[in-house]
Structure 1
Amino acid sequence: MKPMTEDEWAQLRRDSVAVMPEVIDGLPDVLLDYQQELLSSTAKYALTVTDKSRRIGATWGIGADAVLTSGAKRSAGGMDTLYLGYNLDMAREFIDTCAMWARSFNQICSSVQEFLFTEEGEKGEDRSIAAFRITFASGFEITALSSKPRSLRGRQGYVILDEFAFHDDAAELLKAAMALLIWGGKVLVISTHNGVDNPFNQLIQEIREGRRPGNVVRCTFDDALQQGLYKRICLIRGKEWSPEAEAEFRSEIRAFYADGAAEELDCIPAQGSGVYLSSAQITAVMDPDTPVVRLKCPEGFELRSDEERRAIVEDWLIQEVDPLLAKLDRRERHNYGFDFGRSGDLSVLVPLAEKRDLTRRAPFVVELRNVPFRQQEQILFHICDQLPRLGAGRHDARGNGQFLAEYAVQRYGALAIEAVMLTQGWYLEHMPPMKAAIEDRALFFPLDVDLKGDLRQIQMVRGIPMVPNDARTKGADGGQRHGDFAVALCLANQAAAADIIEYGYTPATADDPSSFLSGGDTYVGRVLP
C-alpha cells in the first residue's frame, strides 16, 4: 500500500470538499462524524470498542455521552458513569471536559469535586485514592479515577476504559467491567494500539470474529482528517483552512511519529504482519472426498460461434457438474460466493450447504480459467438454478466482474444477491468471521493443494486481513493464481450469514382445484420473474 504524498492528500481534500453540502449558517456540527458514530454505537451496544488514532477527540466526544447518560433520569436510561484512565491526569482532563458539556447542555450539576475514592486493597483493607466527581440533579454522578480493577467492585453503570491498551492489568480490568453488564450497564473501551498481542487487539479480534458480542468503531488519523478534524482545529485556533494547509499538517504529524505512525495513527498494531491462517488450521477443515471441478478454455475459444461455445460448455456441465448437483440434499439451504477472473486470474464458484449441525460445507468447488464472459454466465446460472433452497449469493463486482454480478441480481433478486466491492473495509469486516469459522471447524471445503495455497495468501496488511495485490502464485496447472479461492470462500461465508426470508406454498393443478385444500408438496424458494 503506497503512502499518500502531501500533494495527493491536498488534491483528495480539495475534491472531497467540492462535493460537500454547504454548512448551515457557516457553523459545523458540534460533533464530527466519527464522534457521532461512537455515540450511536454506545446507545445501541452494551459493549463498544474504539480502535482509534491518537488525539482525534474521541474522548472529548464521549464526555458529551457521559453527561447525557448521568444527567438523565433512570426512566430515560440514566446511570452513573465511571471513567478509568491509566493516570490521574487523564481523569482530571476527562472530568473537566464533562463539566464543559454539562454547562453547554444546561445540566443541573455540582461543580467538579476532588475527593478520596475508597476501594478494597489487595489484602481486603480499605484504600483511599484521589478521584474527581460531578453530581447531577438526576441523582447520578460521573466519577473519574485512575486504573484499578478493584475500583469497579460493587459499582453499576456506564464504564469508560480510556487508553485501555496501556493499563497495567488490562485483562483483569476488562473482566471487572464486564460484570456491570449483568444489571444493564454498558462498557466503552477506547484506545490506540499497543502491540498485536495486547488484550485490546485481542478484544477487537474477538468482536470482529463474532466470538464476543459488541461493536468496533475504527477511526484512523486520515479518517478523522477527511471528516473534518483539521477544519475543527483551524476553527478553534482562528486559522483559515485550506487543502494545502491540511496536507502540510498531515505530513508534519506523520513525520513526528516516524516509524510509529502505523500504530499510533493508522490503527495497525505493531508486529501485525504475517500469514493469517496457519497450515494446520486450513488442513483440519479440508475434506478429501469433496471434488474440485475445473474448466480451462484454449486460446481463441472466445472467437468460436455462440452455438459451439454453448454446446461445448453444456456437455462439460452435464458430464462434470450435474452428477454433483444431483447428490445435493434438497432439504438444505445453499448459498454461494463467486470471485471473478477472465484472462489472468481464475473465476471461482464456491457453493456452501448449511448442515443440520450448523456447519457450512462446500459440496464442490468450480474453477474457471480463460472462460469467456457468456460461458461464465451460462455456468453460473446452470448451477445456481439447481442449488436446492438457494438462499444468498455474493459476487466480486470489481472490474469486469460487475456485469455477471448485475445479471445474477436481475435473475435471483436484489434481496438475495449482492455485488461486492472488495475494499479494505470489506476485508476487515468479513475475513475475521471466516477465520473464526475455520478455527471452530464450522466451515469445510475440498482437500486441494491450490485451495490451501490460496488461503495461505491471506496476510495482515497494515492491520487488515486481505489478499495483497502482489500475492501472485502458480497453481498445479502452471497458471496464475491470486488467492482466488480465499476470496470466493469469504464471499460464500458472508452470503451464508445473510438473513434470507424463505416461504412455503402448496401448488394447485389446473385439473384439480381441490388441491388448494387437500395439501401437497411444500416448496421453499423464491418466485422468479
Structure 2
Amino acid sequence: MSLETQLKSTANLDTPAVLLEYQKDWIGIRAPLKVGEKSRRIGLTWAEAADNVLVASSEKKAGGQTVYYLGYNQDMTVEYIQACAMWARAYNYAAEEIEEGIWPDSDPDKHIKTYTIGFPSGHRIVALTSRPSNLRGRQGVVVIDEAAFHQDLAELLKAALALLIWGGEVHVISTHDGTENAFNELINDIRAGKRKGALFRCPFREAVDDGLYQRVCLRKGIEYREEEEAAWVQDVYDFYGDASEEELDCVPSQGGGAFLSLALVEQRSNREVPVLRLAYPQGYEVQEEHIRLADSLEWCEENLLPLLNAIPLDVQSFYGMDFGRSGDLSVIWPLVKEQNLRKRTPFVVELRNVPFKQQFQIKCYIISRLPNFLKGADDARGNGSQLSEDTAIEFGFNRIERVMLTEGWYRDNMPLFKAALEDDTFYDIPADKDVVSDVRAFRVVKGVARIPEKRTNEKGEKSGPKRHGDAGIAAVLADYASRQDVEIFEFHRVPPSGSHDRTVQTGGGWRSNKGIW
C-alpha cells in the first residue's frame, strides 16, 4: 500500500494532508541514490521516517528492506527513532517497542549504541552512530542525515554505496556546511554527471509556500493569519543572521572564488585556434544598410570562409552565442564534436558595436556553413531575444535554443561544463588572454558559479573596452547546445529550378528572402 493511501486511511477527511507537498516530493523520488539539500527545520527527516516505516514493515516480495539511519549525534538519532515509532502507531502497524542495544566495534575499546524497531515482516529500522564500519556486511536502505556534518562523509558514502550492488538504497539529507564539504561535492558530481543520483532541493521560502507556517500554527494550536506569515519568516531569517543563506537558502558558504583554475583552462587551450574580432566605430550604423551588409560579407569571405572550409565534413557542429550591442561584446563560439565525442573549438568570433542586421548576417554565414549543424544556444535576454528569434525562424526552433541565463540554469550547467574541461572532452580554447580571462570570469556567487556584475577590461583594469565574461558565457552555451537532444533530418540537395526557389547558392554566399550571407 502506498504512503498516500496509508495517510488517507488514518486521517479524518476534514483534516489537512499529513505531509506537505515538498515532503511528498522527496518521498516520491525513487532512486538508488537520492540527495536532498534543504533548509533547517522543515521536517524532511520526519517525512523520511514516514517512508522508512512503510519500507521496513513491508514483506521482501513487496520491496521491504531493513533501514539503517545514521545521524551525526545521539540527540537527532533518538528524535528520528521516536518519529518512526509515531508513524508505526499512526499506520496501526504491529511493531516492537524501541530497543536500545550495543553492537561490537572493530575497536575493542569502543561500542556502537543502537536503537531498533522490529516489524513482523522480519525487517527492522536501526538507528546508529556515524561510522563507516557500521555498514559492513549490511543490506537495505541507508539514510545519512545532516550528511555535511558527519566526521568522514566521504568514507561513509563509500561504505553506504556498496549496498546498492544488491538492490539497496542510499538517501542523503543535509543542510550545507561550506563549498569544500563532501556533501556539496557530492551534489556537484551528480549535477556534472560524474555520479548517478537524483537531486532534491528545498529552501526555506519554498517550504513556507507549501504551507510550513500553516503547519506550525496547527502544531501550536493557534489560528493561521496570512498577514503574520511574512513577519514570522523575517524573524526566522533575523535569527540566523549572516548564516541564513547557508542555513535556510541552501547556499553553501565560503564561496566567491574562481570556479575554474587557470591551470585547467590553460591545459585545454591552443595557440593555433584563432579569435576573429570585428569592431565598428561609433556612428557606423547610420550608413546605408546595403553598404554595411557588403562590408560584413566581405569580412566573412576574407576571414571566416577559409576557417569554415577547413572544418572536416564528418563532424557534428554546434554553437553558443552571448549577445551584446554597444556595451558588451557579442561572441559566437562554434563547437565541433568529433568521432571520439570530444568537442573542439575551431575558432571564436567577437563582435563589438556591430549593428543588429550585420550580426544576424554574420551569424547566418557561420551556421549555414558549419558541417552537419545540429544545435545552437543563444543568450536570449534583453535585446538578444530578437536576434535569437530571427535565428530560430531561419534555422528552426528545434535547432536554436533560446536560453534565459537564470541562477537555476547556471546551477545545473556549470558543473557539467567544468567536468567537460576536467575530462578533456571540451578542448582547444583559444590561447588568448582576453578569452581565457572570460572563461575564468565565473565566480561562485551564493553557491552557484556565474558571471558577477562587475565588468573587466580588455587592456587592464583602468583602460580599454569593457568585457563581461562574454566569451566564457558563449563557451558554456556551446557546451550546453552539444548536450541537447536533436532531431536529425536527412536530405538531398535539388538543383535550382527557377526564380521561385527560396534559397539558391550564389558566388557571394547564400541568398534568401532575407539577403545575402
State whether TM-score is above 0.5. Answer: yes
The DSSP-based 3-state class of the residue aligned with 1:189 is strand
Within-5 A mapping of 1:2-13: none
1:31 to 13, 16, 19: 19
Q: Which moved further from structure 2: 47-56 or 474-483?
A: 474-483
Shift of 1:382: 1.8
CA distance in 2 between counterparts of 1:178 and 1:267 reads: 24
CA distance in 1 between counterparts of 2:496 and 2:403 reads: 42
CA distance in 1 between counterparts of 2:264 and 2:288 reads: 46
2:79 to 75, 78, 93: 93
Residues 1:201 and 2:184 are matched in the alignment: yes
Change in 2 beyond 3 A, CA 1:396/1:508: closer
The DSSP-based 3-state class of the residue aligned with 1:275 is coil
Change in 2 beyond 3 A, CA 1:506/1:168: same
Change in 2 beyond 3 A, CA 1:33/1:338: farther
Matched with 1:451 is 435
CA distance in 2 between counterparts of 1:309 and 1:397 reads: 24
CA distance in 2 between counterparts of 1:252 and 1:267 reads: 18
Q: Which moved further from structure 2: 321-330 or 500-509?
A: 500-509
Which AA in structure 2 matches 1:122? D
Matched with 1:468 is 452
Matched with 2:409 is 426
Within-5 A mapping of 1:362-373: 362-373=345-356
Within-5 A mapping of 1:253-292: 253-292=236-275
**Contact 2:430 2:436 (C-alpha < 8 Å) held by counterparts:** no
The DSSP-based 3-state class of the residue aligned with 2:164 is helix
The DSSP-based 3-state class of the residue aligned with 2:219 is helix
Residues 1:300 and 2:290 are matched in the alignment: no
Matched with 1:328 is 311
Q: Indicate the percent of aligned positions where both proteins have the same amino acid.
A: 45
CA distance in 2 between counterparts of 1:396 and 1:29 reads: 42
C-alpha offsets along residues 285-333 of structure 1, whole Å, 9 cap, x if unaligned?
1110011111212222322333222222111111111111111111111
CA distance in 2 between counterparts of 1:31 and 1:91 reads: 21
Provide TM-score, normalisation by structure 2. 0.87
Residues 1:143 and 2:126 are matched in the alignment: yes
The DSSP-based 3-state class of the residue aligned with 2:81 is helix
The DSSP-based 3-state class of the residue aligned with 1:394 is strand
CA distance in 1 between counterparts of 2:201 and 2:481 reads: 24
2:69 to 72, 83, 89: 83
Shift of 1:409: 2.8
Change in 2 beyond 3 A, CA 1:510/1:478: closer
2:486 to 500, 508, 522: 500
Shift of 1:427: 0.8
CA distance in 1 between counterparts of 2:118 and 2:395 reads: 58
The DSSP-based 3-state class of the residue aligned with 2:64 is coil
Which AA in structure 2 matches 1:450? D
Change in 2 beyond 3 A, CA 1:340/1:227: farther
2:475 to 477, 489, 492: 489
Within-5 A mapping of 1:187-266: 187-266=170-249
Change in 2 beyond 3 A, CA 1:26/1:359: farther
1:40 to 28, 39, 46: 28
**Contact 1:116 1:128 (C-alpha < 8 Å) held by counterparts:** no
CA distance in 1 between counterparts of 2:357 and 2:223 reads: 56
Which AA in structure 2 matches 1:51? E
Matched with 1:63 is 49
Count of residues in Structure 1 that have an aligned counterpart in Structure 2: 481
Change in 2 beyond 3 A, CA 1:270/1:304: same
**Contact 2:342 2:425 (C-alpha < 8 Å) held by counterparts:** yes
C-alpha offsets along residues 374-414 of structure 1, whole Å, 9 cap, x if unaligned?
22222222211221111221111111111222223333333
**Contact 1:119 1:151 (C-alpha < 8 Å) held by counterparts:** no
Shift of 1:105: 4.0
**Contact 1:119 1:150 (C-alpha < 8 Å) held by counterparts:** no
CA distance in 2 between counterparts of 1:78 and 1:411 reads: 55
CA distance in 1 between counterparts of 2:94 and 2:304 reads: 72
The DSSP-based 3-state class of the residue aligned with 1:92 is helix
Shift of 1:504: 4.4
**Contact 2:96 2:119 (C-alpha < 8 Å) held by counterparts:** no
The DSSP-based 3-state class of the residue aligned with 1:91 is helix
C-alpha offsets along residues 234-253 of structure 1, whole Å, 9 cap, x if unaligned?
23333344454222222222
Which AA in structure 2 matches 1:479? P
Matched with 2:419 is 436
Shift of 1:117: 4.4
Change in 2 beyond 3 A, CA 1:28/1:446: farther
**Contact 1:112 1:132 (C-alpha < 8 Å) held by counterparts:** no
Consecutive unaligned residues of structure 2, counting only runs of 5 or more, are 1-12, 498-517
**Contact 2:130 2:150 (C-alpha < 8 Å) held by counterparts:** yes
Shift of 1:503: 5.0
CA distance in 1 between counterparts of 2:389 and 2:96 reads: 61
Shift of 1:507: 7.5
Q: Which moved further from structure 2: 387-396 or 28-37?
A: 28-37
Shift of 1:28: 5.3
Shift of 1:50: 1.5
1:340 to 293, 310, 323: 323
**Contact 1:317 1:379 (C-alpha < 8 Å) held by counterparts:** yes
1:54 to 29, 36, 40: 40
Shift of 1:267: 2.4
CA distance in 1 between counterparts of 2:246 and 2:290 reads: 57
1:480 to 445, 466, 470: 466
Change in 2 beyond 3 A, CA 1:314/1:508: closer
Which AA in structure 2 matches 1:467? I
2:99 to 106, 114, 123: 114
Shift of 1:456: 2.4
